[in-house]
Chains A and B, each alone.
Chain A
């Protein structure tokens, strides 16, 4: 894009929910207001999402225009689709400048846009100023702080910059100003660079230090934790595991007992199929009563047990489940 720009200054505001934004989005909006006042140009803030609810919040940070790109396919960051949607608007409006926050998504988007628009991008700047020709100068630290490089983009437009979070202050939240325009970009499934297969929020982690009863399984369980879970349920307790059992993927890492896992203090610990290396036993040293089951009568776990049972796990667990009955 040659110099036939309209001189306008654009900021990309990255959404982080229905009507909130990454902090750096607001920081660059504040700085952009200052620069556009000095250049006497209009400030447009562009934001992207599946719904149009975000404009009213952005109006409180002093833009002249809010441009909302709304499309059901834009419900989460997708660099390819976002770049297509924003790139199309930039080619229509021809702003002279585009600022983005140097977040992971911002960096992803900025690189794609710069290639799409055949322009230069100054990445991760720590300060911004205007030179005598009103070109933007982005400062980037280099070579151990002995040098700061000032980078301009005199020949191409828009001049693009990503800004490190935290280098500009957040502007005050004021009364809403600026005109809002909503646009539905022309997008289809093929424009997406990624596909959402499923959405699985990280489950709430357990706190084994609070469990009164722990049923702990090791290598000797052979991975049969289903019945251990049933046993724990009937005893009103939780399942724990050794490192071997967590490494094997039988149980989640947050249930690992021992030196690099949980140091537990249950009233009762049932320790099943665990040989008893010290890196494990330090995790049950503070248990009230330890009951250990192991096939090997010489297993060191028996030195740490109040009650030891030598035998095969299967029949012993079965018999325990029968005795406890349905809970």
Chain B
């Protein structure tokens, strides 16, 4: 006889679940129009349907496909009812932790963040190793927050050094936390562990306050987003992304570039663009440093997610469900010589999913650092 798989048990109507839903999300506002599903980049690759996921949540159920979500925020931007669907996804994942219905590898990730303060399960004593030959002034009320990728991923370390060198070139007096820096908690929040996220944010706030920090420059858009939320909640310092800080320096004439003929296309990372509205700073940076920016068909608010957000960096994705290669292809179609972005996850995904023949991928900071003068 063939093996059969049982469908999910009967839906139970649970007033408690409804209370949780309305207390932690605004998904009760959803009237099931389905605009979210049509905006979702996963709809064409997976069987996850955002509308259905929200409906099941209203019933008190958690769709196991919720783990596929990259939290790119296309659904939030499209929702006519203003439902925070990304927030709902995090909340549903949080509920799944209580019954341990989570994808393999994620408990290991959380333990790593908890015990080592980073997402790579590497020793905290190696956190400052990104600096190599870069000298950081080590004073001042501005702090460069490097984050786990910039600290440990050799690829992202290059971006971190580029930003630090640019700040040095412009004469900015800034400090870094070095080995005392801990994870911003964005990874924990994205996979639904709000408590660990809050704990890490508090630890960061205390570090910032002890060192008299008034402004934090975040290297990764994910840290930028998480620190912005966390510091606002804890009364911590102002948080900006490095592209915003560098734009100010170029505007103020503290950095300059020389015109050249190369064209470049820019990919908007979800957590910088759609989630935080920073679209123009990276483009102006590239233009002020003398390059010509050409746009992909899907740009700014319609940027296509690389696939690395929402904790997907720590979950294996079926090759047919990965969106990265298509984005690199779109970049190639612009005729640009270089694809620049401003997020270590995007770079990591694009590097791994582009074919060897396609457009090279780099970070905006690295492009500028190669060209800027004081």
- Does any Cβ of B come within 8 Å of A170's Cβ? no
Stretch at the interface among A90-98, A130-138, A257-265, A287-295: A257-265
B11 to chain A, nearest CB (A): 6
Task: Write the B62-88 contact mask toward A (1 if CB under 8 angstroms, else 0).
Answer: 000000000000000000000000000
Find the B residue at minimum CB distance from A126.
B10
Q: Is the CB of A285 within 8 A of B7?
A: no
Q: Is the CB of A76 within 8 A of B1?
A: yes
B74 to chain A, nearest CB (A): 23
Q: Which of A64-113 contact B (CB under 8 A)?
A: 75-77, 102-105
Q: Is the CB of B9 within 8 A of A103?
A: no
- Does any Cβ of B come within 8 Å of A282's Cβ? yes
Query: A49 to chain B: which residues have CB within 8 Å?
Result: 1
The main secondary structure of chain B at its interface with chain A is: loop
Query: B313 to chain A: which residues have CB within 8 Å?
Result: 259-260, 279
Q: State the CA gap A242–B10 with chains docked (Å).
A: 41
A279 and B352 contact, Cβ closer than 8 Å, known pairs A24-B6, A104-B4, A259-B313: yes
- Does any Cβ of B come within 8 Å of A226's Cβ? no
Give which listed residue, B11, B58, B351, contacts A141 with CB less than 8 A: B11
Q: Which of A154-193 contact B (CB under 8 A)?
A: 164-167
B1 to chain A, nearest CB (A): 5
Query: B121 to chain A: which residues have CB within 8 Å?
Result: 263, 282, 285
Q: Which of A8-22 contact B (CB under 8 A)?
A: 14-17, 22
Task: Write the B145-177 contact mask toward A (1 if CB under 8 angstroms, else 0).
Answer: 000000011110000000000000000000000
Q: Is the CB of A166 within 8 A of B9?
A: yes
Find the B residue at minimum CB distance from A51.
B1
Q: Is the CB of B7 within 8 A of A103?
A: yes
A77 to chain B, nearest CB (A): 4
- Does any Cβ of A come within 8 Å of B2's Cβ? yes
Q: Interface size (A, Cβ < 8 Å)?
A: 39
Task: Write the B281-319 contact mask toward A (1 if CB under 8 angstroms, else 0).
Answer: 000000000000000000000000000000001111101
Among B1, B3, B352, which residue has the most Cβ atoms of chain A within 10 A?
A: B1
- Does any Cβ of A come within 8 Å of B253's Cβ? no
Task: Write the A221-257 contact mask toward B (1 if CB under 8 angstroms, else 0).
Answer: 0000000000000000000000110010000010010
A277 and B6 contact, Cβ closer than 8 Å, known pairs A76-B1, A144-B58: no
Q: Is the CB of A164 within 8 A of B9?
A: yes
Q: Is the CB of A278 within 8 A of B9?
A: no
A273 to chain B, nearest CB (A): 14
Q: Is the CB of A22 within 8 A of B316?
A: no
A260 and B152 contact, Cβ closer than 8 Å, known pairs A104-B7, A279-B352: no
Find the B residue at minimum CB distance from A50.
B1
- Does any Cβ of B come within 8 Å of A303's Cβ? yes
Q: Is the CB of A278 within 8 A of B5?
A: no
A167 and B10 contact, Cβ closer than 8 Å, known pairs A263-B121, A278-B154, A303-B154: yes
Q: Is the CB of A282 within 8 A of B155?
A: no
- Does any Cβ of B come within 8 Å of A314's Cβ? no
Query: A24 to chain B: which residues have CB within 8 Å?
Result: 6
Q: Is the CB of A105 within 8 A of B4?
A: yes
Q: Which of A265-303 contact B (CB under 8 A)?
A: 277-279, 282, 285, 300, 303
- Does any Cβ of B come within 8 Å of A315's Cβ? no
A144 to chain B, nearest CB (A): 6
Give which listed residue, B1, B13, B153, B155, contacts A145 with CB less than 8 A: B13
Find the A residue at minimum CB distance from B5.
A104
Query: A76 to chain B: which residues have CB within 8 Å?
Result: 1-2
Q: State the CA gap A164–B7 with chains docked (Å).
A: 8
Query: A256 to chain B: which residues have CB within 8 Å?
Result: 316
Q: State the CA gap A259–B348 with chains docked (Å).
A: 12
Query: A277 to chain B: which residues have CB within 8 Å?
Result: 153, 155, 348, 351-352
B59 to chain A, nearest CB (A): 7
A102 and B155 contact, Cβ closer than 8 Å, known pairs A77-B1, A77-B2: no
Q: Is the CB of A285 within 8 A of B315?
A: no
Find the B residue at minimum CB distance from A165.
B6
Q: State the CA gap A112–B39 with chains docked (Å).
A: 35
Task: Write the B343-374 contact mask toward A (1 if CB under 8 angstroms, else 0).
Answer: 00000100110000000000000000000000
Find the B residue at minimum CB distance from A141.
B11
- Does any Cβ of A come within 8 Å of B235's Cβ? no
Q: Is the CB of B3 within 8 A of A16?
A: yes
Query: B2 to chain A: which residues have CB within 8 Å?
Result: 76-77, 105
A286 to chain B, nearest CB (A): 8
Query: A105 to chain B: which residues have CB within 8 Å?
Result: 2, 4
Find the A residue at minimum CB distance from B349.
A279
Q: Which of B246-294 contact A (CB under 8 A)?
A: none
A290 to chain B, nearest CB (A): 15
Q: Is the CB of B4 within 8 A of A144?
A: no
Q: State the CA gap A166–B8 with chains docked (Å).
A: 9
A35 to chain B, nearest CB (A): 19
Query: B351 to chain A: which residues have CB within 8 Å?
Result: 277
Q: Is the CB of B122 within 8 A of A285?
A: yes
Q: State the CA gap A71–B324 with chains docked (Å).
A: 51
Q: State the CA gap A24–B9 with chains docked (Å).
A: 10
Q: Is the CB of B316 within 8 A of A261?
A: yes
Q: State the CA gap A158–B210 with chains docked (Å).
A: 77
Interface residues of chain A, those whose CB is within 8 Å of chain B, are 14-17, 22-24, 49, 75-77, 102-105, 126, 141, 144-145, 164-167, 243-244, 247, 253, 256, 259-261, 263, 277-279, 282, 285, 300, 303
Instruction: Taking A259-B120, A282-B121 as given, write out 12 further A-B residue pairs in contact, using a Cβ cutoff of 8 Å, ordered by the A residue number.
Output: A77-B1, A102-B7, A105-B4, A145-B59, A259-B105, A259-B314, A260-B313, A260-B316, A260-B317, A278-B120, A278-B153, A303-B154
Closest 7 CB pairs of A and B: A76-B2, A260-B316, A164-B10, A166-B9, A278-B153, A77-B2, A145-B13
A-B contact pairs, 7 of them (CB 8 A): A16-B3, A145-B13, A253-B316, A260-B105, A260-B316, A278-B154, A279-B352
